[in-house]
Amino acid sequence: MPPISKIASALLVLVTATACTPDAATPGPVVTTAAATAQPVDSGDPLVDKAGVDSLLTRLSAANNKANAALDTGALPGFEAEAALEMDGASLKSRPKGDPIRAFTYNAVGSRIPGVLSGADFFVVEARTSLGGALYPLVMVRRGKAFALAHYVGLNAALPEIRQDPSGNALVVDDLDRDGTLIASPKDVVAAHARQIANKPDADPMFALDTTTSEVVNAEAIQGGMRFVSGASTVPAEWVTYSSTVSKYPIRALRTADGGAVVAYSTITEVLGTNPGKKVSVPAALRPLGTNTGSDNQTQTWQTMWWALVPAKGSGLPVGILGGTTVLTAVG
């Protein structure tokens, strides 16, 4: 439910950015692999056709608006899955009753759909909402005979051009990149990125130009939101420590026209806020996510959905973090 991310700023931070690319550095010669340049195998009919995409977005918009209006977390499993379901459930639980969510519709502006023989369980439809603003590459995953929204991040530009097979279907990259076509496999990139989402990360040249991560998971904003009682008012944590892991949900990737990949995934960030000798204060709106009646320390769990651009092997380019959406999912 992307519009929630725009207006519930106390509970959710949405930051979008274009891909990080070098300005002055001259990359070395590009080394392409045979797997990256070979004629792709035809993967048959698309997982869903245009009429199916339009029908799906119409149903998704209606179900989403109904759940938002009622702040009904029980309705979300009917049209969402994975990270989107977990994060939107937390957003609705902690949303003030008097703060309505504006209704909107999704409007498709493009789609990246693998073929039925590819083995993919997902497709991507790029959509804008009727409220305007960001472009959302919506990752729709198969659930039985239907598809559900599993991942969304608002970006200020379209995804890069996606390579196609002879039938025009989007090409999928497996998370292990078994053919060795990328600077690192999607699985390794995601794990390395999670290690960067920490209060004291070790420098990693793979993310040398990344400024997006610290804007999406903003330590200063998180610290300011962890409150402790001080007399008749509250004060923020004196300091925070945090680290991150890859979430339990699948990593999904599509091949770009230049042999790289765009990757959709999510991470979990555990935060410990400390203010010695002071009692923890959890705002009423956040108590559905957990509470803490102790002193000195409190914890928060944030889940974040990301899109990253992984360059082709030998390109000399670092990973670009295209954007992320983060939600507070638990308090303790």
pLDDT tens, residue by residue, 1-34: 655 332 222 222 322 232 222 222 323 333 445 4
102 phi/psi in degrees, rounded to 5: -65, 135
Q: What was the pLDDT predicted at 127?
A: 96
What whole-number distance in Å separates Cα of residue 90 and Cα of residue 219?
20
Three-state SS annotation for the chain: CHHHHHHCCCCEEEEECCCCCCCCCCCCCCCCCHHHHCCCCCCCCECCCHHHHHHHHHHHHHHHHHHHHHCCHHHHHHCECHHHHHHHHHHHHCCCCCCCCCCCCEEEEEEECCEHHHCCCEEEEEEEECCCCCEEEEEEEEECCEEEEEECCCECCCCCCECECCCCCECEECCCCCCCCECCCHHHHHHHHHHHCCCCCCCCHHHCCCCHHHHHCCHHHHHHHCEEEECCEEEECCEEEEEEEECCCCCEEEEECCCCEEEEEEEEEEEEEEEEEEEEECCHHHHHHCCCCCEEEEEEEEEEEEEEEECECCCCCCCEEEEEEEEEEEEC
pLDDT tens, residue by residue, 150-202: 999 999 899 999 999 999 999 999 999 999 999 999 999 999 999 999 999 99
Q: What was the pLDDT predicted at 203?
A: 92
What whole-number distance in Å separates Cα of residue 329 and Cα of residue 200?
23
Q: In this prediction, what percent of the chain has a pLDDT beyond 90?
A: 84
How does the average pLDDT of the chain come out, rounded?
89
Label residue 39 by pLDDT band (50, 70, 90). Answer: confident
Burial class (CB in 10 A: 0-12, 13-18, 19+), 271: buried
The C-alpha angle with vertex 313 and arms to 308 and 319, in degrees rounded to 5, equals 25
CA dihedral 36→127→175→202, nearest 10 degrees, is 100
Residue 297's DSSP bridge partners are: 274
Point out the least confidently predicted range of 23-32, 60-69, 241-250, 287-296.
23-32
Label residue 64 by pLDDT band (50, 70, 90). Answer: very high
What whole-number distance in Å separates Cα of residue 19 and Cα of residue 300?
29
**Mean of pLDDT values over 241-270:** 98
pTM greater than 0.85 (yes/no) = yes
**Mean of pLDDT values over 78-88:** 98
Q: Computed from CA positions of residues 158, 161, 166, 170, in that sequence, does the dihedral angle turn out positive or negative?
A: negative
Label residue 40 by pLDDT band (50, 70, 90). Answer: confident
182 phi/psi in degrees, rounded to 5: -115, 165
